[in-house]
């Protein structure tokens, strides 16, 4: 399309997506979005036809998680729009760049309770970074550009564009428009209220550098913002320059290599002991792109009680939201870290000495020795230990394997037991905790990187929520691999009921026998396996790794009695972290 | 799951509440008021009064004056999140002590010929004006500080208020009284 060339809203919408560099749309057509689906046939963009709109949203998220590019999903009006609300909320809480296009009834019919009508912008207002109801065809190129700009800059997030049918339907005169493509300047001028700060304030950077060199027990609290800002390299430079240990939150797993000697792993409710205790005992918490989530802090008043806090985040609303920082820095994590590194180098060159942190390092290595991750050995007759399955899977897949998970015990174990050595290899639903996330997210990730191995580790409860997307994967030839840690329970809820509800198990048992996951997998066009014995774990994983022409599902029958440790009970201080029962004797010796 | 969340603050807290006035400059687009109001509603904060009008100097913008009863700490958080809204251009919080506030009230009051002059006199005292006269009713307009309008309302009540409307307050920051050259001394 040339400038001023006559076109229609539907064609313009697809053209705009092409110009934004969209490679793939995850979606499902329907009445109101029909006219936009027609030009897809002639477009360079790949469309992946999902089986449920929630799947489209999570696939777009999975794609965005591993590429950093905005994931795009497109669905029709009404029930389709309400079905993407969950992925939108998920993307909003995890700051995932995403553009969602929904069909809408014709403009004149809006508000009349027309067929498949719902107030999509009203419903999604609080779960999107921004949303649009397009009223004129001529607004489409501008709004698409704005949407991608908003989704990918500042704190990334989902943006929804609701498109009434009449303005995209070439048979309707309201769809007529002349093509144009706005410049960056025009977009900026059209968004007077949107100017994200990216560069950290120089005085704050200097203060941060001073505090870092003066701290005797410093620790870096690295959050998902590191990945969003593509700051993993900068983070490594900061850690290695100063010898400061790095804790990576659930959203930041992979942002710093787990095999690095300075990596302490995951903090929080199911964080490892050393990471949790390092926060409780530190004198300087260097918070980079993290948000003091309740799952990390435990009881907020008793979190990191001795620490001064440096808090760098691109979202000013995060600074002081939960913990008042001593040095707040608004800006892009990568730029801020690079500036801090430069400031520290400057101070060191001018003769400043870094404080002695050797006692702190000794303390940390003591914790690591006394409280490594632990699970009891398999005993004959037991179902599989889920941790053993994960260790075997981890040790028999390539280092750059992309791992996705759902939400619950299996998610925590995967985060704990996997060794993430590369950024963008871990995809999960952290903030919203969306069960059913992993299968579609894995599909989205595999679409982005067809040559890399993608494993979804899922629970049996989660799997049953979105498993139908494996039909999509089979038909579209997207060979993802799914490991179900099947303990027949809603495991995390069961764990809470065991520990906090006197073992009164209310509505958490799913079923020993149904569904038959192997048959179900095969019915969906996947290879299906069931593993009961420990000695079958490795050979089955090896078989699965060799299958590349269709998805694979392995039903690992795991031990329902296994609990996730360590654990900080909800509302408790992190200092009251519960370790594995076999390690209880070591508690309290710092 | 009970006890899953452990947040402080919010509307159930026992600390005394006080008025805060926020002046929010927004893009004049459909749905913006809902976005702004939604951030308060989400937290269960009640908006005490609200005034919205197009900005006089630039028709692309509107000015929303929000009075809300809430503690300072959660309000600071709402303010920051308001600023995250793409359509919000500028926010200023006005402390009642450092701002001038005005509100307009119009009311219809029962005033048969025997008391009509009393009501007119009363409105006169408060610098109001009579805007409509009926056989046994009067309509009047009074503007001023919200406290003053409370007083007028109180004084009119015995006559019988037929209908009464208030606009919600609008506010401006108090002006600097010190000449600039003296400040540096």
Q: What is the pLDDT of residues B106-162, one digit of tens each?
A: 999 999 999 999 999 999 999 999 999 999 999 999 999 999 999 999 999 999 999
Chain A residues with beta carbon closer than 8 angstroms to that of B8: 300
pLDDT band at B177 (very low <50, low <70, confident <90, very high): confident
Is the per-residue pLDDT at B8 higher than 60? Answer: no
The whole-angstrom distance between B8's CA and the closest CA on chain A is 9
| Other Cβ atoms within 10 Å of B72 Cβ, number | 11
Is A498's Cβ below 8 Å from some Cβ in B?
A: no
Q: In a mutagenesis test of the B interface, which of A128, A155, A192 is the best target, namely the one with the most B β-carbons within 10 Å?
A: A192
Query: CB distance A125–B38 less than 8 Å?
Result: yes
Query: CB distance A129–B76 less than 8 Å?
Result: no
pLDDT at res. A585: 63
Among A580, A583, A574, A587, residue whose Cα is nearest residue A221:
A574
Helix, strand, coil percentages in chain A from 3-state DSSP, rounded to 5? 45, 15, 40
Residue in chain B closest to A125 (alpha carbons) equals B35
Query: CB distance B86–A194 less than 8 Å?
Result: yes
Angstrom CA distances, A227 to A94, A398, A425, stand at 11, 21, 11
Question: Which residues of A does the annotation mark as catalytic?
Answer: 53, 115-116, 165, 492
* Residue A10 to residue A193: CA distance in whole angstroms: 29
| Other Cβ atoms within 10 Å of A326 Cβ, number | 15
pLDDT in tens, A7-27: 999 999 999 999 999 999 999
Q: In a mutagenesis test of the A interface, which of B72, B84, B87, B90 is the best target, namely the one with the most A β-carbons within 10 Å?
A: B84
Is A507's Cβ below 8 Å from some Cβ in B?
A: no
Is A316's Cβ below 8 Å from some Cβ in B?
A: yes
Chain B residues with beta carbon closer than 8 angstroms to that of A496: 1
| Other Cβ atoms within 10 Å of A262 Cβ, number | 18
Is A571's Cβ below 8 Å from some Cβ in B?
A: yes
Average pLDDT over chain A, rounded to whole? 97
Query: CB distance A133–B31 less than 8 Å?
Result: yes
pLDDT at res. A587: 54
Angstrom CA distances, A198 to A316, A390, B81, stand at 11, 39, 18
Q: In the numeric block, which tokens belong to residue B117?
A: 């002059």
Q: What is the pLDDT along chain A (590 residues), one digit of tens a residue?
A: 899 999 999 999 999 999 999 999 999 999 999 999 999 999 999 999 999 999 999 999 999 999 999 999 999 999 999 999 999 999 999 999 999 999 999 999 999 999 999 999 999 999 999 999 999 999 999 999 999 999 999 999 999 999 999 999 999 999 999 999 999 999 999 999 999 999 999 999 999 999 999 999 999 999 999 999 999 999 999 999 999 999 999 999 999 999 999 999 999 999 999 999 999 999 999 999 999 999 999 999 999 999 999 999 999 999 999 999 999 999 999 999 999 999 999 999 999 999 999 999 999 999 999 999 999 999 998 999 999 999 999 999 999 999 999 999 999 999 999 999 999 999 999 999 999 999 999 999 999 999 999 999 999 999 999 999 999 999 999 999 999 999 999 999 999 999 999 999 999 999 989 999 999 999 999 999 999 999 999 999 999 999 999 999 999 999 999 999 999 999 999 999 999 999 886 554 44
The mean pLDDT of B43-59, rounded to a whole number, is 89
Chain A residues with beta carbon closer than 8 angstroms to that of B85: 130, 193
pLDDT in tens, A544-554: 999 999 999 99
Residue in chain A closest to B90 (alpha carbons) equals A193
Chain B residues with beta carbon closer than 8 angstroms to that of A316: 80, 83
A29 contact partners, CB below 8 Å, separation of at least 6 = A37, A76
Which residues 109-128 of B are in CB contact (within 8 Å) with A? none
pLDDT at res. B58: 87
Q: In the numeric block, which tokens belong to residue A200?
A: 């950290």
Query: CB distance B84–A299 less than 8 Å?
Result: no
B19 contact partners, CB below 8 Å, separation of at least 6 = B48, B67, B68, B69, B96
- Partners of B92 in the β-ladder: B23
Which residues 30-69 of B are in CB contact (within 8 Å) with A? 30-31, 34-35, 38, 42, 60
Q: What does DSSP assign to residue A296? A: H
Q: In a mutagenesis test of the B interface, which of A193, A315, A504 is the best target, namely the one with the most B β-carbons within 10 Å?
A: A193
pLDDT in tens, A303-341: 999 999 999 999 999 999 999 999 999 999 999 999 999
pLDDT band at B97 (very low <50, low <70, confident <90, very high): confident
Tell me if A394 sits within 8 A of A414, measured CB to CB. no
Is A393's Cβ below 8 Å from some Cβ in B?
A: no
Is A64's Cβ below 8 Å from some Cβ in B?
A: no
Query: CB distance A193–B26 less than 8 Å?
Result: yes
> What Rg value do the Cα atoms of chain B yield, rounded?
21
Q: In a mutagenesis test of the B interface, which of A317, A324, A504 is the best target, namely the one with the most B β-carbons within 10 Å?
A: A317
Is A207's Cβ below 8 Å from some Cβ in B?
A: no
pLDDT in tens, B114-124: 999 999 999 99
CA dihedral for B53, B55, B56, B59, sign (positive or negative)? negative
Nearest-CB residue to A193 (from B42, B76, B88): B88
């Amino acid at each position: 399309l040339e400038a001023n060339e006559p076109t229609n809203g539907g064609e313009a919408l697809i053209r705009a997506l092409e110009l934004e560099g969209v490679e793939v749309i995850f979606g499902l057509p329907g009445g109101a979005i029909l006219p936009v689906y027609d030009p897809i046939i002639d477009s360079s963009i790949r469309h992946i036809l999902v089986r449920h709109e929630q799947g489209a949203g999570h696939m777009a998220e999975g794609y965005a998680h591993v590429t950093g590019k905005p994931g795009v999903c497109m669905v029709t009006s009404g029930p389709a729009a309400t079905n993407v609300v969950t992925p939108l909320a998920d993307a909003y809480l995890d700051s995932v760049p995403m553009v969602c296009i929904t069909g809408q009834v014709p403009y004149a019919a809006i508000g009349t309770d027309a067929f498949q009508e719902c107030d999509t912008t009203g419903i999604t207002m609080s779960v999107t970074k921004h949303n649009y109801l397009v009223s004129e065809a001529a607004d489409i190129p501008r709004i698409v550009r704005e949407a991608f700009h908003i989704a990918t800059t500042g704190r990334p997030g989902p943006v929804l564009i609701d498109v009434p049918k009449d303005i995209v339907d070439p048979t309707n005169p309201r769809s007529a428009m002349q093509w144009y493509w706005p410049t960056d300047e025009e977009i900026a001028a059209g968004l007077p209220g949107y100017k994200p700060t990216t560069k950290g304030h120089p005085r704050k950077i200097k203060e941060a550098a001073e505090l870092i060199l003066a701290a005797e027990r410093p620790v870096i609290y690295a959050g998902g913002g590191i990945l969003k800002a593509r700051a993993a390299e900068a983070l490594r430079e900061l850690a290695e320059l100063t010898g400061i240990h790095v804790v990576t939150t659930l959203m930041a797993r992979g942002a710093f290599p787990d095999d690095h000697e300075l990596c302490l792993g995951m903090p929080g409710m199911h964080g490892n002991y050393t990471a949790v205790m390092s926060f409780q005992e530190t004198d300087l918490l260097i918070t980079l792109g993290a948000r003091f989530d309740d799952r990390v802090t435990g009881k907020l008043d008793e979190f990191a009680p001795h620490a001064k806090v440096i808090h760098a985040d691109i979202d000013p609303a995060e600074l002081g939201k939960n913990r008042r920082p001593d040095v707040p820095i608004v800006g892009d994590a990568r730029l801020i870290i690079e500036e801090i590194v430069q400031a520290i180098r400057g101070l060191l060159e001018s003769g400043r000495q870094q404080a002695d942190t050797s006692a702190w390092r000794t303390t940390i290595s003591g914790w690591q020795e006394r409280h490594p991750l632990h699970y009891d050995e398999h005993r004959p007759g037991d179902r599989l230990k889920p941790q053993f399955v994960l260790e075997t899977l981890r040790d028999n897949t390539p280092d750059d394997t992309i791992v996705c998970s759902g939400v619950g015990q299996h998610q925590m174990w995967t985060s704990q037991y996997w060794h993430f050595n590369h950024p963008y290899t871990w995809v999960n639903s952290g903030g919203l905790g969306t069960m059913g996330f992993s299968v579609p997210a894995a599909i989205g990730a595999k679409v982005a990187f067809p040559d890399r191995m993608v494993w979804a580790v899922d629970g049996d409860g989660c799997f049953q929520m979105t498993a139908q997307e494996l039909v999509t994967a089979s038909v579209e030839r997207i060979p993802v691999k799914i490991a179900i840690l099947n303990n027949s329970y809603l495991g995390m809820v069961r764990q809470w009921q065991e520990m906090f509800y006197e073992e009164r198990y209310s509505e958490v048992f799913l079923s020993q026998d149904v569904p038959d996951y192997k048959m179900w997998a095969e019915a969906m066009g996947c290879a299906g396996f069931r593993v009961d014995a420990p000695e079958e774990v490795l050979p089955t994983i090896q078989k699965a790794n060799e299958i590349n022409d269709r998805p694979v599902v392995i039903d690992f029958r795991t031990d329902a009695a296994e609990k996730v440790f360590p654990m900080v009970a909800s509302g408790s201080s992190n200092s009251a972290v519960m370790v594995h029962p076999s390690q209880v004797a070591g508690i309290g010796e710092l | 799951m009970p006890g899953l969340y452990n947040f402080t603050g919010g509307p159930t807290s026992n600390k005394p509440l006080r008025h805060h006035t926020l002046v929010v400059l927004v893009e004049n687009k459909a749905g913006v008021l809902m976005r702004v109001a939604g951030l308060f509603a989400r937290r269960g904060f009640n908006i005490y009064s609200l005034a919205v009008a197009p900005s006089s100097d630039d028709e692309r913008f509107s000015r929303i004056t929000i009075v809300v009863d809430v503690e300072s700490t959660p309000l600071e958080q709402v303010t920051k999140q308001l600023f995250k809204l793409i359509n919000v251009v500028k926010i200023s919080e006005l402390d009642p002590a450092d701002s001038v506030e005005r509100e307009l009230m119009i009311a219809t009051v029962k005033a048969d010929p025997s008391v009509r002059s009393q009501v007119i006199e009363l409105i006169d005292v408060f610098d109001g004006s009579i805007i409509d006269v009926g056989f046994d009713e009067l309509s009047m307009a009074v503007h001023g500080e919200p406290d003053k309008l409370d007083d007028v309302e109180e004084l009119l009540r015995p006559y019988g208020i037929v209908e009464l409307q208030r606009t919600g307050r609008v506010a401006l920051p108090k002006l600097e009284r010190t000449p600039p050259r003296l400040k540096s001394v």
